[in-house]
Structure 1
């Protein structure tokens, strides 16, 4: 078995009591989460093998990835895909990310259906149309079936019409100097970018511009 060196000291880090510094042969070698000192029974005088070091580094990455995931979830709910992508961007490998997702599953911290429902309700309060919401959720990796079911339970034609009409009234003042065709074209673009359907847009503009 190949050895990296002998552990000559293990010290708690001054600026972070949750981490420890490991010294090999009198020199600082690596900083790790304090939990790993106990998990791997690391003590002064033990020889650190390359295999054990690999396990420690893997577990260190897992702990860091788990903490990063918890931090993401502390701000708001996330989709599974969103957490996976964010951890990948931080440089964690596939195996570590999968391990973290399993932990989050056991704790019921990720649920794409609950995430979609909360996202839809939040975006409704901000006046977004269903097509914009659907696109956002697709980009976050939520399954099409879940998106459609949750949208159907939270959004109907009447609500979409009311939100679109309110938004159109808010924006129509900037186009009062234009002729009817140009006004309709401009307001249609505004409502489309907000995520409303063509059917609702046409109904709203028919009613708003009929006078």
Structure 2
């Protein structure tokens, strides 16, 4: 087999169509064109064609991952499951994810810290909620608990109470139930919730 034509694609200037024996065989990126130094009249063994097809698929997966994490940082597990569901080969997916992890582009620890920070300062939630959500993203429980141990959950809950529930009168049973339910629904532990509520009731009585 011999390359008889290499044509730049009209819709994407970074991609090229490769013709072998006057028939279209494959579209490849400029990256692979340079890497394999492909030129017209070069012999194209089937082994080389198969290798390029694999490399092209890996580049496609990589580019899709990079586009995906532009909108929201994702864990390696989330990405793996998404691309498996899209029909990509798991071996290729794992290779690409490993490469991006080694390059520092994917970082589960960084994702975990960012998630905990967001759910501490921007959208406060309790440790129980954070643990549940991060485990769904494939983050090991040990990693999550280690990072959660560095934050003061009661302080987070108190800050949320002061921002969102401060106008409630906790001497009123209805308001008290509302405060308890709001805090529990955000994943704060019951011991912390009732500790805060009881402290606020005491403060109201002292006023």
Scaled to the shorter chain, the TM-score interval is: 0.7 to 0.9
Q: What TM-score comes out, normalization by structure 1 length? A: 0.80
Q: For residue 134 of structure 2, what is the aligned residue in structure 1? A: 137
Shift of 1:47: 4.5
Q: What SS class does the counterpart of residue 17 from structure 1 fall into?
A: coil
Task: Give 1:137 deviation, angstroms.
Answer: 1.0
* Cα shift at 1:184: 3.9
1-structure distance, mates of 2:13, 2:193? 59
Instruction: Return the offset for 1:171.
Output: 8.4
Q: Residue 188 of structure 1 is aligned with which of 173, 177, 180? A: 180
Do the aligned residues in 2 keep the contact of 1:164 with 1:201 (CA within 8 Å)? no
Give the CA RMSD over aligned residues.
Answer: 2.7
Return the alpha-carbon distance in structure 2 between the equivalents of residues 186 and 164 of structure 1.
Answer: 14
Structure 1's consecutive aligned runs of 4 or more residues displaced over 6 angstroms after TM superposition are none
Distance in 1 separating the partners of 2:31 and 2:85: 25
- CA–CA distance in structure 2, aligned partners of residues 164 and 35 of structure 1: 51
Length, aligned pairs only: 201
**CA shift for structure 1 position 90:** 3.4
Decide which of 118, 121, 127 is 2:114's aligned counterpart: 118
Structure having the higher strand fraction is: 1
Quote the offset at 1:159 in angstroms: 1.2
Confirm whether residue 198 of structure 1 aligns to residue 201 of structure 2. Answer: no
Provide the secondary structure at the position in 1 that maps to 2:193: helix
From 91, 94, 98, give the equivalent of 2:87.
91
Aligned to 1:23: 19
CA distance in 1, matches of 2:192, 2:159: 10
Q: Residues of 2 paired with 1:63 and 1:190: CA distance?
A: 46
What displacement does 1:37 show? 2.1
The residue number in structure 1 matching 2:28 is 32
Structure 1: runs of 5+ lacking an equivalent: none
How do residues 36-115 of structure 1 correspond to structure 2 at under 5 angstroms? 36-115=32-111
Query: Secondary structure of 1:195's partner?
Result: coil
- Please, what TM-score do these two structures have when normalized by structure 2? 0.81
Looking at structure 2, the residues matched to 80 and 195 of structure 1 have their Cα atoms a distance apart, in angstroms, of 25
| Structure 2 residues not aligned, in runs of 5+ | none
Maintained 8 Å contact 1:81/1:140? yes
Tell which deviates more after alignment, 80-89 or 139-148: 80-89
